Amino acid sequence: MQKIRENYKFFQDSENHIVGHYFRGLYQILKFIDYSDLTKEEKESYSRILRAQLSTDELALLYFNCRRMQTLSATHSLDG
C-alpha cells in the first residue's frame, strides 16, 4: 500500500493542474447535494447519478484522492 501512496502522490504532484479542478468540481456538487433540503433518499439518488457518470479510472482516482485527503487530515489533526 505504501508504494501505491507514493505513486499517487507523484501523480497528484505532477498532474494536479489537470485533475485538481475536477476533484474540486465533484466535491462542490456533492456538497451541494448534501446541504440541500432533499430527503436522505433523494440525496442518495442524486449521488448515485453523479457516480454513474464516472468511469472506472475516474472512480479509482477519486478513491485514492479521498484516501490521501484522509491521511493528510489525520496528520494535521495530530499536529494541531
Enumerate the domain spans of the chain.
2-79
H/E segment holding residue 49:
helix 40-52
Would you state the pLDDT for residue 78? 46
Q: Which band of pLDDT confidence, cut at 50, 70 and 90, is reported for residue 73?
A: low
Q: What single-letter DSSP state applies at residue 53?
A: T
Would you state the pLDDT for residue 46? 97
CA distances from residue 33 to 6, 14, 59 in whole angstroms, order as listed = 32, 30, 19
Assess whether pLDDT exceeds 50 at residue 56: yes
